[in-house]
Chains A and B, each alone.
Chain A
Amino acid sequence: MIASLLGGALLREVPEALLVGVKSGQYSVYGSIIKSVSNGQIVGHLQEAGGLSKLAGMFGSGPLGLLAGGVQMVQNEQIKSGIGRIEAGMGMLQSLGVANLALGAAGIGVSVAGFAVVSRKIDHVKKAVETLADRMDVLSIEVRAVRQDLVAADLDDLRALAWAMDEGWKLGDSAAERRWHGVATDALRLSARFERHAARILAAGPIALPAADPMLDGLSLAGSLRVASLSAAGEVRAAQDAANEGARDIDALTGRIGHADLTKAKLATWKAESGTQAWFEALTQARKLTIPDTVRLREREAAAATRAAPLVAIEEKGISARDWLAAAREETVSPLLVMMNK
């Protein structure tokens, strides 16, 4: 269906050959980019589509990025009762290894998620912020200095912006453009606030990463909204700059935090005696436990770094970003579409 839009196969459902190529290791996925492993060339750009809302809806207001649990959740009674298309969509996300990315705060490509989806993502972030209070006694002074009520207010502002963004699609051209320009400005302000919250917490070191994670998700969501609103308003160059700036901000916060840092921070909270087998076992356990946090870090950075990648190609083909995003929104079945590089 979607392939007939925009005068050709610019945006289309992810072909089976691509899924097979990723599975076989011929291609790899980095953020929203699919590239050839042998020569590093971009094969295609992934772009989230309207069908994502059906998948996100299955998760209610709970965590959207449920890691390996995603597939099991989908294989629940709803699936067994015949929601085959959703199963296929989830299967595709899993095949590409982007389920958590697509359903989490970072998203894939330029966000076209409707208000309901973004709102659920914000709910998830908000819950994570609320749990900080339960752990206040073990958190550092840097973490406690970040007022949760202010973070919650910022998340509410973000939700309102998501609503305003969504509503823009229902407005006439000039009103929509004004609306989206306004959303972009406010998203910039919110990005700065989430960045400040995250930086303050991360000053405590890698051990504070779990506490900073909701702020980083907030930053990611605000940045995504900014890029989407500028793109929809036809400000493609500004959208690219905004995406690059967002990627730099996230890299500056977490780009130097790695698996070794998280492992050692975790290890330091235990009392294993160094120079013993027990220390080795504790290190091994800490290494295992910190894999999910490490993956989230890298996925968030990759999503930010690749967000604007298709915009250049779209512009070169003489297609407006607004039309391109509208086409992605209109795809109601598949959660992801792809723009092949050739």
Chain B
Amino acid sequence: MWQLAASRHAIIVWRDDYRLRTAVLVNAAAVNALAGLEAQLAAVDTIDALRAPDAFAARYLQPKLAAFMREDLAVLLDESAGALVAIDPGFSEVADTLRGKPPGTALVSATAEASADGTSERSAGNWFTSKIPSFSAPTLTLPKMVRETLASGAAMVEQIHHSAQDVIASATTHARETTGLHDRLRAAARSEVRRHWLGPETETDPPLLQQLDARFDMVADKARAHAEGTI
């Protein structure tokens, strides 16, 4: 009995550690992305951004989210899989659901379309698209709106890269409006981060962090079940 309890404790400590580390990582990525937005504001297409600040924020942030998932997050998840196996080599099959696998589902479709349009979403060997045949693990995907936006390709990216000269050429009388516009764009970006990166949690189209929590919970439950079957 105590061996099983000790194993369960090791699993939940692992799960908590990586859930919290992931939260820190996703937040840090969001902080960086929002900071990067400031540099883009000076070059924004005023009319277009005024018309649809939410779309501007989405177009700017969603490629950042995709890149983060592909890079930093994939590294952390690979590390988390290794840490789980270190608890018990018998957890290796369960841990593999966290590791990078050949692409195959929603994100890949979206990124493939984006790549065809010339955006830099190529070679997405993503852990979150993986499926292990013996487990019916839910596939972690980019939030729906992110996928749709990514799929629309390069056109959206071009819209946020207007030259600074356009802005410099704006009349002085336009400055106050522009300042207000920047605030609207910042607010739209923060809203985008809430909806698709960090939460609050939602049943439909969950933000990335909620999906990650669910993934860690699922893997921990599978590891517990494995421990119960072998101890």
Contacts and interface: CB of A to CB of B under 8 A. Distances in A.
A30 B2 contact: yes
B1 A305 contact: yes
A277 B5 contact: no
B28 A280 contact: yes
Nearest to A280: B27
B5 A247 contact: yes
A31 B4 CA distance: 13
Contacts of B31: 275-277, 280
A283 B27 contact: yes
Interface in A254-268: 255-256, 258-261, 263-264, 268
A274 interface: yes
Contact of B2 (A268, A276, A306): A306
B1 A259 contact: no
B9 A298 contact: yes
B6 interface: yes
A200 interface: no
Interface stretch (B17-25, B93-101, B110-118, B151-159): B17-25
B27 A275 contact: yes
A307 to B, nearest CB: 9
Interface residues of B, number: 33
Contact of B16 (A259, A277, A302): A259
Contacts of A255: 8, 12
A10 interface: no
Interface size of A as a range: 20 to 34
A279 interface: yes
Given A274-B30, A275-B194, A258 B16 contact: yes
A13 interface: no
A123 interface: no
A166 interface: no
Contacts of A273: 190
A103 interface: no
B78 interface: no
Nearest to B197: A275
A263 B217 CA distance: 15
Given A260-B15, A260-B16, A260-B19, A274 B198 contact: yes
A260 B213 contact: yes
Interface of A: 30-31, 33, 243-244, 247, 251, 255-256, 258-261, 263-264, 268, 273-277, 279-280, 283, 287, 294, 298, 301-302, 304-306, 308-309
